A and B are shown apart, each in its own frame.
Chain A
Amino acid sequence: MDRVFLEISNVSKTFPGVKALDNVRFDIRPGEVHALVGENGAGKSTLIKILSGVQPPDEGAKILIEGKETQFAHPIDAIKKGISVIYQDFALFTNLTVAENIGINETIEQKKKVVSWRAIQKKAKDALDFLNVQIDPNAIVENLSVAKQQMVAIASAVAQDAKMIIMDEPTSALSRGEVERLYEIIDLLKEKNMAIMFVSHKMDELFRVSDRFTVFRDGQYVGTTDADKITEEELIAMMVGRKIEVKRYANLEEKGEVVLRVENLSKKGNFKDISFELHAGEVVGFTGLVGAGRSEVAQAIFGISPADSGVVRVGDEEVHIANPAQALEKGIAYIPESRQTQGLVLPKTIADNITLPLLRTFANKLGIINREKQMSAVDEWIKMLDVRPNDPTMLAMQLSGGNQQKVVLAKWISTKARILIVDEPTNGVDIGAKDEIHKILRQLAKDGTAVMVISSELPEILSVSDRIVVMRRGRITAQMDNDAVTQEAIMQKALV
């Protein structure tokens, strides 16, 4: 039992401007569930990519498999070394049968030209029997439930003689009963001496399945501990335990009238009984895990995918917003998370992007745009938000992430919305730009806008918010003023 299957050390991964992993280590033994724990952005996904051969680590990393030093040049190398990943989307061929998904790998590996369906069927049946699951090998994967697709993915790893299975947030799409079934499978795999790296941030399941925890924070290794020697609170403290003092901009006094009131908003399969208020002049931070339903609430308010029931009031008026155009008319703007695909026209200039929602105001009666007027407005925005380089003719795709985000902000702020919803505003933005964006959001609030910030990063939430709303599994679990709130308290509400 003490034999180590995989041992890594000195693993770093640098992306332009960001150090995603900084000198981390990790080891796992056969027959052990070793959970990798950390907040969003702690570096868990990056490590998975390295271990699965999708991305190479920086120079100097040491990866030992069964005591032998190895490198992965291609995903297939990792699989051959016995490491399989169950991705969140399972990475299956949904157009093909269960049997082929499980059993074809051997044929590929042996570079056979002709396919033996009998061999594939047998391989699939063996793997499914091994896991003791009842799935028709001839079913098309597309027609299976999510839980069954996951079993197929696990069976496929088993069929490839995996010695270590990495499960990335394996329960995120499962119902309660299905989660129990997954636990049983994990126990079974353990019994059969499989090493399982379990990636999650749900406390209950971490303690249910894990033998050991390793905690990452901000790309750094924090520590490894046996599961029975630590409490939930202690684990959370390890995850968030930053000693860096966050700048808090909160101002609890100057609150204006209520501009947005949401009552019992529900949408099947997305969120339930959401009630909150936004006041003019305040920033409200929405936090929780990815997938808690925060963005879905915002998109319902903004009319992208309206809610099933509940009431939304803008000021005193009850509104029924069915599409984003109506939302804009009511003074609500929404800046989505993936600014590249949803917020910006990348091959267009900064100027064009900023003035896109406003073009009409620069046009004369014939619809011809007054270029001078447009450019002077653009210059003003660039100066105000400090977009760098400050050249309005630059294409949006040439800017850094932080400056792209400023352009998106400018674009929507210029519509003079009374209510501004921003989703993960500093995702992929460097530290300096982050602080500037926070200042912009605070300034907007000071000028009377009600700002709703959705973010998974607790320091960010603590930094910009006057009030904090925590969501978990589609519901609001806490609303608190940002004065004496600690990260631990928020995590408790988000996780447990």
Chain B
Amino acid sequence: MQKVWKNLTKSKEISILAIIVVLAVCITIVNPNFLTVSNFFDIMRSNSIYGIMALGMLPVLISGGIDLSVSSTITLCAVVMGKFLQANPGSNIVVAILLCMVVGALAGLVNGLLVTKFHIPPIVATLGTQTIVMAAVLFYTNGMWISGMPDWFLSFGDIQFGAIPSAGKVVGMPIQILFLILVGIATWLILKYTLMGRGIYAVGGNVQSATRVGYNVSRVTTFVYIYSGTLAGLAAVTDILIVKQIDPNTFSGCELDVIAIAVLGGASVMGGIGTVFGTFLGIILMAVIKNGLVLVRVSSYWQKVVMGIIILVTISVDVINRRIEKARLVHVDVEE
């Protein structure tokens, strides 16, 4: 029994999956509307924005860093795109998406350079850029909503794939979820099959050894911030495709939710550990908590309490496990 428990707590993915199943069962018992395809698509669509950003946060966390500036980057990209579409209503979706991703990548590049060239701790560097960019964007927009997106753009957001009968209706998978899945596959491929991806794990696991075996630590570090910024840009597109207008205030503070998803999914804030699969579970868990608790009429304040408790429990189990491991390795060989 002890061994089973140990293995369970060691594989964080399993425990998160278990939490999701338990929550889903409980919520469904109270409100059968929860476990339907249409509801699942619904909640995943609205959480795809956070999910995409969390997949960008994942490599940053694995490398041992943190990116607090995703909230300002997504806001910046959304506003840039809004203004661009207002000025160029005749553009097309490919240009719009690329524009957002390039702006996001540039914001990420600044973070990466601050961390690698000026040796500013990631938490400070990204807090600084977040504050500056957010304030500048709010100053520029005056906090006003931007609307009046072109029709071709808005209709792109309504694309659905397939036709699945659910709860008396026929629903398809929204394009925003396709974005999320594609980003997931891309992130997985990068982390698993490129030398850059393995370098991210190596740098997060042991910087000194990573340098020694010949990884370019600066390049790896810069890459993760660019990647995070790029995905924040894509998340901006995804967001506008859902809400169809831009509120410059809506993402203030969202970086904590994004980090929470990655951490819930098993990424270690100490670096070296984290998977795309786990992050997906984190996204689903976040979505289930948010939506499910609404369906069972739990106050929205309690959602955050539940999130917080789950984060603390999963992380402290992780930290305690690691400390036990460490203690096991350090000892004097006493002659008995």
The chain A residues found within 8 Å of chain B, CB to CB, are 75-76, 79, 91-96, 100, 104-105, 107-109, 111-115, 117, 142-143, 146, 172-175, 268-272, 291-293, 296, 472-475
Contacts and interface: CB of A to CB of B under 8 A. Distances in A.
B215 A272 contact: no
A473 B334 CA distance: 5
Contacts of A172: 333
A93 B195 contact: no
Given A75-B211, A76-B214, A272-B335, A95 B201 contact: yes
A269 B209 contact: no
Contacts of B196: 113
Nearest to B212: A75
B201 A473 contact: no
Interface string B265-299: 00000011100000000000000000000000000
Interface in B194-229: 194-198, 201-202, 204-206, 208-215
A474 B195 contact: no
A475 B208 contact: no
B334 A146 contact: no
A129 to B, nearest CB: 22
B329 interface: yes
A75 B198 CA distance: 20
B213 A108 contact: yes
Contact of B213 (A76, A112, A143, A292): A76
A146 B145 CA distance: 59
Interface in B73-99: none
B119 interface: no
B325 interface: yes
A149 B214 CA distance: 21
Contacts of B201: 93, 95-96
Contacts of B195: 107-108, 111-115
Contacts of A473: 332-335
B140 interface: no
A271 B202 contact: no
A92 B209 contact: yes
Given A76-B213, A271-B334, A475-B334, A173 B206 contact: no
B193 A269 contact: no
A269 B334 contact: yes
B198 A95 contact: no
B336 A272 contact: yes
A100 B210 CA distance: 12
17 contacts: A79-B212, A93-B201, A93-B206, A93-B209, A95-B272, A108-B195, A113-B194, A115-B192, A115-B194, A115-B195, A269-B332, A270-B334, A271-B334, A272-B334, A291-B332, A474-B333, A475-B334
A4 to B, nearest CB: 26
B331 interface: yes
A93 to B, nearest CB: 4
Interface of B: 192-198, 201-202, 204-206, 208-215, 271-273, 325, 329, 331-336
Contact of B206 (A91, A268, A271): A91
A95 B273 contact: yes
Nearest to A141: B205
B190 to A, nearest CB: 10
A222 B75 CA distance: 68
Contacts of A269: 331-332, 334
Given A95-B273, A108-B213, A114-B194, A142 B325 contact: yes
B282 to A, nearest CB: 19
B205 A95 contact: yes
A175 B197 CA distance: 37
B332 A105 contact: no
A75 B211 CA distance: 8
A279 to B, nearest CB: 27
A113 B335 CA distance: 50
Give the 9 A-B residue pairs with the shortest CB-CB distance, closest first.
Answer: A474-B334, A95-B272, A269-B331, A95-B205, A93-B205, A473-B335, A91-B209, A75-B212, A76-B214
Contact of B332 (A92, A109, A271): A271
Contacts of A96: 201-202, 205, 272
A107 B194 CA distance: 10
A137 to B, nearest CB: 15
Contacts of A92: 206, 209
A303 B329 CA distance: 22
A114 B214 CA distance: 16
A308 to B, nearest CB: 12
B198 A104 contact: yes
Given A104-B198, A474-B332, A94 B206 contact: yes
A174 B333 contact: yes
Nearest to A107: B195
A370 B201 CA distance: 53
Given A291-B332, A292-B332, A293-B334, A76 B194 contact: no
A475 B332 CA distance: 11
B212 A146 contact: no
A271 B206 CA distance: 31
B202 A93 contact: yes
B198 to A, nearest CB: 6
A94 B205 CA distance: 7
Contacts of A109: 214
A78 to B, nearest CB: 9
Contacts of B332: 269-271, 291-293, 296, 473-474
Given A108-B214, A269-B332, 5 more contacts: A75-B211, A93-B201, A104-B213, A108-B195, A173-B331
B203 to A, nearest CB: 9
Contacts of A117: 193
A109 B212 CA distance: 12
Nearest to A471: B332
Contacts of A104: 198, 202, 213
B333 A173 contact: yes
A146 B211 contact: no
Contacts of A75: 211-212
B198 A100 contact: yes
Contacts of B198: 100, 104, 107, 115
A35 to B, nearest CB: 20
Nearest to A179: B333
B192, B195, B197, B333: residue with the most chain A Cβ atoms closer than 10 Å: B333
A474 B334 CA distance: 5
Contacts of B273: 95
A76 B204 CA distance: 19
A268 to B, nearest CB: 8
Nearest to B210: A93
Contacts of B208: 91
A2 to B, nearest CB: 32
B331 A270 contact: yes
A270 B331 CA distance: 6
A104 B209 CA distance: 13
